[in-house]
Amino acid sequence: MTSISKKTGVLAVYANRRIPMPKIIKTSADGKAVPSTNDTAHLMGANVFWNYGYNGSGIRVAVIDTGINASHPELSGKVIAAESFVKKIYGYDKDEPDPTDIEGHGTACAGIIAGKGLDPRGQGMAPGALLMNARIFPATGGGATWAAIVAAIEWATYGPDGISNSGDEADVISMSIGGGEIYNSPIWLAVREATAQGSVVVVSAGNAGDDQIASMSIGDPGNSPECISVGATDPYYTDLDFYYGQYTSLGPTIALAVKPDIAAPSGTTVIYYTGGYTGSAWHGTSFSCPHTSGAAALIIDYIKQHGFSREKYPWVAKSVLMISASPLYATEATLRVKYEDMIVGAGVVNLTAAYNELSSGVISPSEYSQWLYVLPTKIPVGVSNSTSKVPEHLPYYPYYDRVFINQTIYFNFSIIASHNTTINISFVGNFTQALNVHSPLIVDVDSPTTYWEFNFTVKPDAIEGIYVGQIIFNDTNYGVSRVVPIVFKVVKPKMRVLFDLKHTDWSIDYRYGQYRLWVRAFEVLNNVSVDMLHYSYKGDLTVDILRKYDLVVFPDTASAKPIFLENGTY
């Protein structure tokens, strides 16, 4: 293993982990009309694109899943390429060469994306789109291997002929899959390469939110920076989707960035892999993902008809979807609850607004708008403004309501843009009087999603009290900017705690993960400062560092991934 890892071009060596097969969550009709995908397509505004001649015609969408039943009438003639990656060379027990769906999940997702609409229950978001079928789950269970997922992404990115830009590549890659987060995931690298080549990658956020208790529950690869990560709303845009609780996963990710990026409907009837349609509603971010993949296909159809080439697809699709998103509101007694970044990202997909963005100005490959979006949209941010779901919904990222003298906070802003550019960052307000900022204030945006780390330490002589202001992201090249309000209270801590992440790679062992409410008890209820020593910290944990703290916490001092030995065992 050591000799392999030292070879030129090898970034790392990983055990071939498995991502579990997605669970299908079904609810019975109970005598009520179950919404169809035709209902949700109109809810999202897909019909606006259809009415103007953009139905995804000729756009290729790869579905990496359990396979597709290509003979289903709603999908007949649509599957133009198919491959099973369930092979021994990718870590399975045996070869299963047939790419046909073995469980129903993949066919349902394909129908949501590109169903012909012979029946309202089979209406696809982009009924003119074509499909590429990449099967990664074995019939015997046991989950999909990382090797198979990476191979499937590569196949979709370069097309069956393996040659870039030969015309057989996927314009959109849709993955309703997810597993536990891990540092430096190899799937991230595959998603990054797919994006660089011009494929828009859309991934489900995950179903592990547990009524907003389980923060940092976004799955891998939905946590990858470049993808469009999708949370789940109900099929009416009146609340988050519900099945024995609100399940949709919430951020931040292991990269300390906001995810999901956006949210879309779930809980409709879908096409059934053995033929016909389901009588029950199928729930999960698995089905919000293909709604968004189909939405991306419509946007790509629009810009393709306006002369755009493939390398621009990820830049425009993601930025337009996010900047045109609408807020998600719910009703709670007499309060109108607005959901926030940590669970819906920019908001819910609104294709009517997206079409208006695209059509409201000049649009050509050489001249089009800079659609600039920044997450988080405010600091601090949480799940919603609910007054009854406390403390689960309170702002917690990147801090609760206060910061402490000598405390260091660091996290990533996500900058989403439709053009590569340079962003100048400036500050307004008195909050900088309390902080030493350690971050560069000029950011080169050279990919559709760029992370800017905001790293600051509260000054030792900061005066206790309330501080407010704005962080301004200014693109002088295109004359657009985004403003993020910031507020905090500076407090002198009664005690200082160091949360040591250097000695564990368990992804949820963060102040933002499974220790979120524990940190609140320290900071908000007792005015005890909690610092994090990140896993990526390269220095030693010296006596001088330890002397600064009254308590050091070492959570899960064990490895979440195999450690390879010289002889190749682990």
* Residues marked as catalytic: 65, 105, 286
Preceding peptide of 380 cis, ω within 30°:
yes
Q: How far apart are CA 211 and CA 191, in angstroms?
A: 29
Dihedral Cα 61, 94, 190, 535, nearest 10 deg: 140
CA distances from 97 to 108, 173, 205, 322, 476 (A): 21, 21, 29, 38, 53
User: Helix and strand tally (H, E) in the chain?
Assistant: 12, 25
Half-sphere exposure of 238 (CA within 13 A, CB side): 6
Angle between helix axes 105-114 and 285-305 (nearest 10 degrees) is: 30
Q: How far apart are CA 354 and CA 171, in angstroms?
A: 18
Q: How far apart are CA 532 and CA 519, in angstroms?
A: 11
Question: 3-state DSSP call for residue 306?
Answer: coil
Q: How far apart are CA 453 and CA 471, in angstroms?
A: 13
Angle between helix axes 186-197 and 146-158 (nearest 10 degrees) is: 10
Rg (CA), the chain: 23
Helices (H), 65-199: 105-114, 146-158, 186-197
Q: How far apart are CA 229 and CA 222, in angstroms?
A: 5
Helices (H), 306-406: 313-323, 341-344, 351-359
